[in-house]
Amino acid sequence: MSGFIKRLKGAKLLLPPLAGYTDYPYRRILSEFDPPFLCTEMINPEAFVMESQRTMEMVKMVEGNHLNGVQLVGSDEESMRKAAAMVESMGYDYIDINMGCTVKTITRTGAGLTLMTDMNRAVSVVSAVVGTVDIPITCKMRMGPTEANKNAASLSRKLVDEGVSAITVHGRTGEKKFGLDVSLEGIKEVVDGVDVPVIANGGVYTGEDAVNFLEATGADAIMPGRGLIGNPWLVNEIKSSLNDTNTLNIALVERKEVTLRHLRYLCDFYGERTGVILMRRLLGKYFSGCRNVSLLKIDSQKTGTINDVETLVERVKDVTGMEYSRN
């Protein structure tokens, strides 16, 4: 059993590649919560091979006790092969191939979800990557491109035959958006059909969700998604729930400290102006459940400096529960 599989089965938790969110600064934050794995946001293989500045920033590795992965989103065997070789040479521990992204700029190139509509192409891409590197390859897919074409189970079997080490299944089809029901039965069908670990994904916002998903599907591990945005504490909550231990409440002072540390990491990496702009959309997430959080979101759009953001964070008080006040 490889070290990757052993850790996956032991931890039962794989952190997600979240486009626009799991950049280097946020992976630094997540690493402080002792996750078993960290993965980059999706990487265009052509831009990676060209070593574009933006892409090289996206693949900067976060050191720690975790295993590091890169998610590649492409459909051309040659560029995927070259990119995979570069990932391995950088010291990354595994590669994930995106077969679930529904964004049109991705799908119209034949990548992301489009690979599920062309299983021969998907198999060719995976075969090219598996044959190029020695590190584990995983694939992240949906139940299928559409409700009428739920082919995750059949595609997974083909990919496993090509040497894929694990499969992540998002329990919705391509035309379904966030918030709709996840097909636990569909994920279970994939689990029952392959002899490699399957990771269940979609709609996991709490530790209880994680436990329920694993029990219902028989999956080997869980992958949270958007619930992790501005909530790195979800890592500990899921780990505690899987180990049947209690999760402590998050003190407001800790929430503020992590938020401001994330801000500093962003500004150190991108510069103050860009870092603050990126932090605007995260403040409401970090203080989700806060009274008057809508005002906090509005005020965050006016921030331009680190001091501006610090002022807003200071206005969150623990009065009668977490509350934001403009006074």
Provide the 10 A C-beta neighbour count for residue 208: 12
**Active-site residue identified among 101, 139, 267, 290:** 101
Q: Known catalytic residue: 101?
A: yes
Integer Cα distance of 231 and 257 in angstroms:
13
* Active-site residue set: 101
